[in-house]
Structure 1
Amino acid sequence: MLSNTLWAAMALFGGLATAGYPPDVVDKLAKDSMSKVKDWLAKNPQGECNLKTAIRRKEWSDLTKNERKEYISAVLCLQSKPSKMSAEAPGAKSRFDDYVVVHLQQTMRNHGSTFFLPWHRLYLWHYENALRTECGYTGYQPYWNWDRYAQDPINSPLFDGSDTSMSGNGVFVPHPGIGVPSAPPPFNMIPPAQGGGCVTTGPFRNMSVNIGPLAPTLTDIKPNPQPDGLGYNPRCLRRDLNRNSAAVTTANYTYSLITSNENMYWFQTVMEGQFDQGKWGVHAGGHHTVGGDPAGDFYVSPGDPVFWLHHAMIDRVWWIWQVQDLEKRLKDLSHTMTMNNSPPSRNGTLEDENNLGRLYGDVLTRDLMSTLGGMGGRLCYIYE
């Protein structure tokens, strides 16, 4: 076994990530691409936003234990503050729930459409800002590098159930697995794992899931009292951490996603999944790695706190893809205005508007394309 001194020395010279995880091919691509960012900024200065002032979003295991605890405390703080949306969503009891409400209300608009990536970038930024301005968080939104934990998510720093994790697996409850609509056999069913019940370990073991379900992947969840899923329906956080789903999120899939798709149409299509071909994509793979309730529910998945780390990784992958050709890809948009073009609609444009309902007003898609200077400089971050 390597000594702590040797681990530290290897990390210092770039041999290992700071938490002891060797850089994967995506990490290396991101690092090697920073020269392209520098060149672009030299030609396109972004006012006060530059590589010295840009926020650094970091991977969960690269945070110190105290930094992880601070993030967890901020999320718990948001869950303790009263909702601003309870008038339109009786089930919303906290500021954390407000974000679940917004996602549910806009699910059909912001998935499989031109809004998928830019809207989630706005959504993630606003959540990060709420943690900082409402709960005193001094860090920034961490991400979940899927590859690091894909072989054994249950025992990873993210899910090991310790006080520095995002809580652990659910207790074992037999269930048939998760159906994947439109996928051909054998890809139409994700085999069950060893969880499925209530999470009993870690910081979120006592949290209440209040919104939904609307599209549950577990059959024994009590239905919401309102058909729109916005009624008050308190229940425990449930997970079924699943290596079968995690298998499609290893670095080779992410690297291929970034390097093999030259335009936004194919990049987004492959990322979101081609279910009719039995290809889940890293987006669905990450969600179903967690599974359970609410993470497995398409509409209310942000009700599991790990959603935000998963979508930070989604945003990171888009950022790395954009960096490969910034001049072109900061303008590259695809898909129509409706999910899977149903009902048929026009193509989306950079002038279309995104919003977070009552939480935040309209933002042009154009202003969400760049993490370095977008939204008049309010977006100013990179991923480490």
Structure 2
Amino acid sequence: MRYSLASQALCGTITVSALAVPNEPVQKRVQHVDISSFKRFPTEDPQVFLDQSDSTIREFFNIGMFNDGPMDEFGKWLDRPQAILEEVEDKLELQFEKFEDQVEDFFEGISDSKDKEVVQSSKCQTKNQVREISRAKNPFPDFDDIFGIPAKQPPRQPSQEEEPQILPDSSRDANQTEAAAAAAAATCNPSNPNVRFEWSNYSQTDRTAFVQAIKCLQDKPSGGIQFNGSHNRYEDLISVHRGMTVNIHQTAAFLVWHRYFVWVFEQMLRDECGFDRAMPWWDETKHAGAFAASDVFTDQWFGNLPPMTSNGQGTCIETGEFAGTTLHIGPGSANTDHCLSRAVDESQTAQSNTDFTNSCLSMKTYGEFANCFELGPHGYGHNGIGAVMAEVSASVGDPIFFMHHLFVDHTFRIWQNANPSRRTTISGCADKANPCTPITLDTALSSNGIRPDLPVRQVLDTLGGTFCYRYDY
């Protein structure tokens, strides 16, 4: 553990004081906290969404057909066939934008006459109907076999010497106008965006820089009295989330507002704490049912992930960069000092699995996908980490919140990749009023002044609005 000279002197003073007054009891740091009053995130039985999903569509996501990848300057994939999912007669249908010569060769190579008839019929219509394709022996062959694509290389890990990619707007002043932000967006080139790297592909030095930048926000003073209960700059974010909790959960604003919120967090790291690396994200599907074993939760980074105690308490985190953190906002609407605590339940984290995620990805509409993921892997992930992370309004108090929501945003982007119209359309309620306010492309997303408000239209497309990023896969 590192100590400054000042802290060493302070420790020395405490020691002398304790020796000088032997009858004075030495106060120990609290190790556990009662979390019975913490409000947990709502979740739904996974089987409900599994029954709603289409197994063939799930498989298209499972093989990575719509995952993130390199694009040309026009936003076309470079490493996969150009295909989209479209709703036809109330069903999702896989349609290729164009057939390549290699596809013709593949069709000719099909030996089974029934399979040939199915595929030929789809070919003549310039589309593959999902329910017909699912009857073929090989529902969807490997891209490499069809298109002659070279074997995929593992995601690139940024070297320690490499100059990090920084968003074009990373140095924007907090008071910059929305018009200026829109003008900056025109410079985004889909073939050269910023890339968010999965934690396992993120270098050790980048990990250190990331967690220390978060710690930097915790050490800075609050931005103002408008952030109720906040004692530091990081807690300003907790205050914003708490103040907007009602209308940013279980409404159509959930996905777009949290995407915007993660971007606000990133801009604070860059502008206020000098963070100059690519952003990380955490693929929770790799660790479903075993979050505590992930190297995200180590003494070097975010600290350990202990289980709930036998009497139902959370454990105060005393390892990692955020050891000994005292939170001043929450639980709920209270402003009560309490420790950063966790209480993992791996039966809950197990629901952040690939099958549940892909069941959500197979949903047809924005509302269906948002509802599935919010009440599915998102809610189970929060509750699985437990304690502060499971406290709905003040869950931002645990810095792992942002790694979790980077996973949420990654999944949202993958769902959008399956059809370009998903980056330009939205529907549903922006709030819980009765009657509600419909969400539109012009609905403003706010962070209570931490960064400029942005309309939904600038948040939906991460490669065409104010943002300019994709994920490494």
TM-score range, shorter chain: 0.7 to 0.9
Output the CA distance in 1 between the equivalents of 2:302 and 2:244: 26
The alpha-carbon deviation at position 151 of structure 1 amounts to 3.2
Q: Assess, with a 3 A threshold, how the Cα gap between structure 1 residues 366 and 116 changes in structure 2: closer, same or farther.
A: same
1:257 to 357, 360, 365: 360
Output the CA distance in 2 between the equivalents of 1:68 and 1:155: 17
The alpha-carbon deviation at position 207 of structure 1 amounts to 1.4
Aligned to 2:392: 298
Spell out the pairing of 1:251-290 with structure 2 (5 A cutoff).
Answer: 251-258=354-361, 260-273=362-375, 281-290=376-385
Output the CA distance in 1 between the equivalents of 2:60 and 2:209: 30
Spell out the pairing of 1:58-137 with structure 2 (5 A cutoff).
Answer: 58-85=197-224, 87-89=225-227, 91-137=229-275
Q: Which has the larger radius of gyration?
A: 2
SS of 1:57's equivalent in the other structure is: strand
Output the CA distance in 1 between the equivalents of 2:307 and 2:396: 21
Counterpart residue type for residue 289 of structure 1: G
Output the CA distance in 1 between the equivalents of 2:271 and 2:226: 24
Output the CA distance in 1 between the equivalents of 2:217 and 2:60: 35
Structure 1 ranges of 4+ moved more than 6 A: none
The alpha-carbon deviation at position 382 of structure 1 amounts to 0.3
Specify every segment of 5 or more residues in structure 1 that has no aligned partner in the other structure, as ranges. Answer: 1-23, 177-194, 215-227, 274-280
Q: Assess, with a 3 A threshold, how the Cα gap between structure 1 residues 56 and 25 changes in structure 2: closer, same or farther.
A: farther
SS of 2:272's equivalent in the other structure is: helix
Identity %: 28
The alpha-carbon deviation at position 32 of structure 1 amounts to 5.7
Counterpart residue type for residue 338 of structure 1: D
1:336 to 422, 429, 434: 429
The alpha-carbon deviation at position 162 of structure 1 amounts to 2.2
Output the CA distance in 1 between the equivalents of 2:188 and 2:62: 23
Q: Write out per-residue CA displacement over residues 115-159 of structure 1, whole angstroms, 9 at most, x where no aligned residue.
A: 111111111111111111111111233212111112321121111
Counterpart residue type for residue 367 of structure 1: Q
Stretch of structure 1 that moved more, 233-242 or 121-130: 233-242
Output the CA distance in 1 between the equivalents of 2:62 and 2:279: 18
Aligned to 2:310: 174
The alpha-carbon deviation at position 106 of structure 1 amounts to 0.5
Aligned to 1:217: none
- Give RMSD over aligned pairs: 2.4
Stretch of structure 1 that moved more, 46-55 or 330-339: 46-55
Stretch of structure 1 that moved more, 299-308 or 131-140: 131-140
Q: Write out per-residue CA displacement over residues 189-248 of structure 1, whole angstroms, 9 at most, x where no aligned residue.
A: xxxxxx72111222211212111110xxxxxxxxxxxxx43x3x3221110122111111
Q: Are positions 1:206 and 2:324 aligned together?
A: yes
Alpha carbons 2:427, 2:439 under 8 Å: kept: yes
Q: How many residues align?
A: 307
Counterpart residue type for residue 75 of structure 2: L
Spell out the pairing of 1:312-351 with structure 2 (5 A cutoff).
Answer: 312-326=406-420, 328-339=421-432, 343-351=434-442
Aligned to 2:88: none
2:64 to 17, 24, 29: 29
Aligned to 1:219: none
1:146 to 284, 287, 298: 284
Output the CA distance in 1 between the equivalents of 2:308 and 2:250: 33
Q: Assess, with a 3 A threshold, how the Cα gap between structure 1 residues 25 and 209 changes in structure 2: closer, same or farther.
A: farther
The alpha-carbon deviation at position 101 of structure 1 amounts to 0.4
The alpha-carbon deviation at position 314 of structure 1 amounts to 0.7
Aligned to 1:6: none
Q: Write out per-residue CA displacement over residues 227-271 of structure 1, whole angstroms, 9 at most, x where no aligned residue.
A: x43x3x32211101221111111111112211x211101111111
